[in-house]
Structure 1
Amino acid sequence: MCNIIFSWVLCGLTLFMLNCSVLAAGGGYTVADIQRMGLQANGLLQAARSQVDIAQAGVTSASAFPNPEITFMAGPDSPRLPEIDTGPSSMQRQVTVSQPLENPWVRRARIGAAESGVEASRANLEQARADLAAQLRVHIYEFLLRRGLAEMESDIFNLMGEIQRRIKLSVESGEIARFELIRADTEVMTAASRKEAALLNTERARIALLQLTAGTLPAEFDVIASLSDPVELPSLEMLRTELPATNPEIQRLEAEQDRARLRIDQERASVLPSVDILYSNYQDRQFTSNTAGLSVRIPLFYQRRGEVDAAVSDAARVRETLDYRRYEIGRLLESAWQAMEIARRRVEMFEGGIVKEAKAALRVAEAAFRLGERDFIEVLDTQRVLRNARSELLQAQFELQAAAAEIDRLRAHYPQE
């Protein structure tokens, strides 16, 4: 008895390990798994991360102090008068050190503008992540949609094949005319064509997912998800409240607005006089001279009016763009929410009765056809009604998931890497 139990346990562990190995080799992946894989491997995100690094390097550059300048000059004296009057010739050397004193208001504004550039780059990266995650989610459910349509067309092809065999037997026995068999052959070929097209569309959707994940998915992967997955989102009022604080594009434009404002401060502070500290050491055969002073550049004739006006205009452009995009993104949220609600009602309508009634009608038509009470045309009509209903249901389920993905994109909600 113990040996039998041990054998069963060993078999169970073996099957578990085999299932785990199948999943690891490319079996099933959840929607979040595929999104994470795409976010880690996509080259466009790597480029966006590099932009953040570049912006952070810009902060380092903006925080640097100006370097001093050292000038060294040397050369012989060439007397123009007799040596008895000037003394013997000698070598002279001069070293001059110049250190700019940076305007603190210019420095503060420049560093602040660079830091705002970092925030804008991070918002760009967040936008790229949200866009890619939403795109992956839509493509995943499009793959499930294509696969569901392919399964539906396969069922129809099998049904048409069964009816064709029954009609062929009836024709051979002389019960019905050969014309019915020709019609059945045509319907089988049409169903086979639709089935082949649906399978090819499924492969196209699979290839699109492989492309978005940069080939990190195995070629024969499977998705652990369904078009009927529940969609759970906050209420519309909560989404309206949180959207301005979470939408990456609004955050980027706000960072650009801060950068434009600080650029105005920088240009206006640049009008103030700039000062350099000077120190000079002069030596010749007879004398050593140490002098210090200041060099002041006074903006007397040109006070950077053009640069200030350009900065003001750029700030106005960013502010107007921000106001418009806030309004537009709010409308996009409303539109996506309405699309989601419409798709949800369509799903409920088809799942609630239309598909069930169409299936029941097809079963009745098939039974009547087998008993000889109905002809082939009625089976075809009920089959087409069911096909249309199933197609509409699958399309409505996909539209529901796509609308939810758009809402998550707008609020930058996605699985983290």
Structure 2
Amino acid sequence: MVALTLGSGSAWTQGSPDTPTLGSSPQALIEYARHSNPGFAAARAEASAAQERVTPAGALPDPTFEVELMDATNTMSGRSASLLPGQVGETRYRITQPLPGWGKRELAVKAAEAQATQADAMRDTSWAELAAKIETLWLRYYAADRELVLNREGLTLLKSLEELSLARYELGLLPQQAVLRMQREITAQRLALVEVEQRRKGLAAGLNGLLGRAHDAPLAAPANPAPLPEQLEAGALFEAAASANPEVNAATYGIDVARAERERTYQDRLPDFAVGVRNNRPDEGKSSWDVMFEVMIPLQQSSRRAKEREAEYMLMAAEARREDAKARASGELGIAWSMYAQGRETLRLLEHTLLPQAQATRDASQAALSSGKVDFDSVIEAERQLIDIRTQRLKAELDTRLALTEIKKLTGDLK
């Protein structure tokens, strides 16, 4: 019974909702932010609002109802003034329906659809930015966590060397200066450990902020990310940046909006209309019906020509924005691709050359210390070099993964 109780308690603890599971991978954080980030919720609502503008854009204007009281003072009949229908000289009821000119409703729908498509593209742009921020912060969070592990391992090794140095000092085999230097190295390592721990907490708070959570909400320890691709095809990347980049797509749909607005502006040369019916009810006599037809007279030609020139300039600006977005995406992609290639080569040299050499030097210096061939300064220096190279390798991995994240954002690969 005790064994069953302990087993069930352990199982309950593993399934406890207080155990943090969010944070082990950037994909889970990005998916969580899709539903919880307030900024993206605003972009999503704006895109939905733009979709709802399509239906009313092609609807007819609401008709108007008018009541006209003729001879409200009742001068002709000699009665007292009145504001009640049927108690004045004549009451007129009129219903008027405005009618836009030919093709204007269709163009309004086309413009609204283009604006809705652009709003969707802007939503995708904001999402790509948010996903890139989350992945970037997570990578820094991952690097800080791994740096914390490296510093703790280095501190453990330095402490073991301190014990050895104290034992040799007590036997008179080591000068006091070597012991003091060892203790200085341990203090410096502890200071570095404190800095990394605080940086890790700050990055966790930043991630929680992007997720719409409390700054101190628990996050799981980051797992190892997927292996880096060996190489990236530059031609395919630049083609993707020109066709799938979110900012380029938004600028392209902006051209469609400008063209639709230009067509609407030129269509305003045609007049609008209105039709109506009126029922006349005199105080004495028979009621009658009138039919009304109105047409707008386009007299303000200078104003219309200015609006047409404005529409042309807006189209030119939209086309220039697309070219600017393409040029910026291409330039930023070139920088990111170069940084990624450099990072891969740096990692290769560190992992296959410098790191094995530093490990071999450290091991050899420790073996030589045991036989009394080297002093403690050589061992400490070898250990310090190994810690520095491991930290350098972690920084190179971080820079390479950050470049890959930027490449994915520029090529529209962050969904």
Provide the TM-score with structure 2 as the length reference. 0.87
Match of 1:78 among 75, 80, 94: 75
Query: 2:301 is paired with a residue of what secondary structure?
Result: coil
Q: Which residue of structure 2 lines up, in the alignment, with residue 168 of structure 1?
A: 166
CA deviations on 1:93-135 (whole Å, 9 max, x unpaired) are: 1122222121232222221111111111111111121111122
After TM superposition, give the deviation of residue 64 of structure 1 in Å: 1.9
Q: Which has the higher contact order (CA 8 A, sep 6+)?
A: 1
In the alignment, structure 1 segments of 5+ residues that lack a partner are 1-6, 82-88
In the alignment, is residue 62 of structure 1 matched against residue 57 of structure 2? yes
After TM superposition, give the deviation of residue 250 of structure 1 in Å: 1.5
Within 2, Cα distance between the matches of 1:242 and 1:15? 53
Within 1, Cα distance between the matches of 2:260 and 2:21? 53
After TM superposition, give the deviation of residue 283 of structure 1 in Å: 2.3
Q: Which residue of structure 2 lines up, in the alignment, with residue 329 of structure 1?
A: 329
Q: Which residue of structure 2 lines up, in the alignment, with residue 86 of structure 1?
A: none
Q: Which residue of structure 2 lines up, in the alignment, with residue 21 of structure 1?
A: 15
Q: Which residue of structure 2 lines up, in the alignment, with residue 398 of structure 1?
A: 398
Contact 2:145 2:221 in 1 (8 A): no
Q: Which residue of structure 2 lines up, in the alignment, with residue 214 of structure 1?
A: 212
Indicate the larger mover: 303-312 or 392-401.
303-312
Q: Which residue of structure 1 lines up, in the alignment, with residue 278 of structure 2?
A: 280
CA deviations on 1:306-351 (whole Å, 9 max, x unpaired) are: 2222222111111111111112212222222221111111111111
Q: Which residue of structure 2 lines up, in the alignment, with residue 290 of structure 1?
A: 289
After TM superposition, give the deviation of residue 175 of structure 1 in Å: 2.4
Indicate the larger mover: 227-236 or 377-386.
227-236
CA deviations on 1:249-280 (whole Å, 9 max, x unpaired) are: 11211221111111111111112122211322
Indicate the larger mover: 347-356 or 149-158.
149-158
Aligned residues: CA RMSD? 2.9
Contact 2:231 2:341 in 1 (8 A): no
After TM superposition, give the deviation of residue 367 of structure 1 in Å: 1.8
Within 1, Cα distance between the matches of 2:242 and 2:102? 34
Contact 2:47 2:116 in 1 (8 A): yes
Match of 2:269 among 268, 271, 274: 271
Match of 1:40 among 35, 43, 46: 35
Q: Which residue of structure 2 lines up, in the alignment, with residue 110 of structure 1?
A: 108
Where do 1:234-313 residues align within 5 Å?
Answer: 235-284=233-282, 285-302=284-301, 304-313=304-313
Within 2, Cα distance between the matches of 1:217 and 1:204? 9
Structure 1 residues 268 and 44, CA gap change in structure 2 (3 angstroms): same
Where do 1:339-358 residues align within 5 Å?
Answer: 339-358=339-358
After TM superposition, give the deviation of residue 234 of structure 1 in Å: 6.5
Runs of 4+ in 1 over 4 A off after TM superposition: 13-20
For residue 156 of structure 1, what is the amino acid of its counterpart?
A: G
Within 1, Cα distance between the matches of 2:213 and 2:89? 73
Q: Which residue of structure 2 lines up, in the alignment, with residue 182 of structure 1?
A: 180
After TM superposition, give the deviation of residue 411 of structure 1 in Å: 2.7
For residue 148 of structure 1, what is the amino acid of its counterpart?
A: R
Within 1, Cα distance between the matches of 2:26 and 2:208? 14
After TM superposition, give the deviation of residue 364 of structure 1 in Å: 0.9
For residue 65 of structure 1, what is the amino acid of its counterpart?
A: L
Structure 1 residues 242 and 15, CA gap change in structure 2 (3 angstroms): farther
For residue 64 of structure 1, what is the amino acid of its counterpart?
A: A
Within 2, Cα distance between the matches of 1:203 and 1:90? 82
- Aligned pair count reads 400
Within 2, Cα distance between the matches of 1:335 and 1:316? 29
Q: Which residue of structure 2 lines up, in the alignment, with residue 407 of structure 1?
A: 407
Within 2, Cα distance between the matches of 1:249 and 1:327? 11
Indicate the larger mover: 383-392 or 39-48.
383-392
Q: Which residue of structure 1 lines up, in the alignment, with residue 156 of structure 2?
A: 158
CA deviations on 1:195-243 (whole Å, 9 max, x unpaired) are: 2212222222222222222228994432453257334886333333333
Q: Which residue of structure 2 lines up, in the alignment, with residue 93 of structure 1?
A: 91
Indicate the larger mover: 258-267 or 378-387.
378-387
Query: 1:222 is paired with a residue of what secondary structure?
Result: coil
For residue 75 of structure 2, what is the amino acid of its counterpart?
A: S
In the alignment, is residue 378 of structure 1 matched against residue 373 of structure 2? no
Contact 2:129 2:409 in 1 (8 A): yes
For residue 255 of structure 1, what is the amino acid of its counterpart?
A: Y
Structure 1 residues 224 and 204, CA gap change in structure 2 (3 angstroms): closer
For residue 152 of structure 2, what is the amino acid of its counterpart?
A: S
For residue 20 of structure 2, what is the amino acid of its counterpart?
A: G
